[in-house]
Amino acid sequence: MKLIVGLGNPGRKYEGTRHNMGFMAIDEFASMCRADFDKEGFKGNYAVVNNPSLPEKLILLKPETFMNLSGESVEAISSFYKIGIEDIIVIYDDMSLAPGKIRLRKSGSSGSHNGMQNIIDHLHTDKIKRIRIGIGEPGLYSGADYVLSSPKEEEEKQALQEGIGKAAKACRDILLHDFDFAMNLYNR
């Protein structure tokens, strides 16, 4: 069983913000799997997916703890379902990548992303697979103001939507093949 986590902040106030790329990507992947986030618990909303087109059962999770406490939700659900570190994938936004670009990694630092850092802290390892979706650099904005705002330019909106779609397809390719296959396909 695999656990795929999309990071974001709950509530209407944060819908469509750059910091919610993880939520948007996991929603897109859930739609591909014909799954609904119909369960509440483990400090989040989640879906248990038993899709015959996928090789194994999986859980999709959107923590409702707010970004910086995401590790609480990930630790709770992975502990309950006995999901090992090697079977966890986290999707989140990354300011160091151009808008819409995605990058897959098997381990490493959080890159100053507080949600990912909290997951690393709660799971006691940085060997967590992740899919990062580029949102671009903040320019004149502070980092917090930038990630908590929505894109204004049509070109940026389109690039971010493409990144969300690529991240969802990367999830599918990881499940149908493996993480290395998806890394080779998307890390170009």
- Binding site for tRNA, by residue number, is 14, 66, 68, 114
**Euclidean distance between CA atoms 167 and 186, whole angstroms:** 9
Known binding positions:
14, 66, 68, 114
Tell me the chain's radius of gyration from C-alpha atoms: 15
- The encoded tokens of residue 93 equal 């936004």
End-to-end CA distance of the chain: 28
Contact between 99 and 14 (Cβ < 8 Å): no
Beta-strand relationship, 58-63 and 2-6:
parallel
**Euclidean distance between CA atoms 167 and 162, whole angstroms:** 9
In the residue annotation, 122 being an active-site residue is answered as no
Q: Exposed, middle or buried, 163 (CB in 10 Å: 0-12/13-18/19+)?
A: buried
Helix axes 179-186, 154-176, angle to 10 degrees: 150
Of 19, 113, 124, 177, catalytic:
19
**Three-state SS for 4?**
strand
Catalytic residues, by residue number, are 19
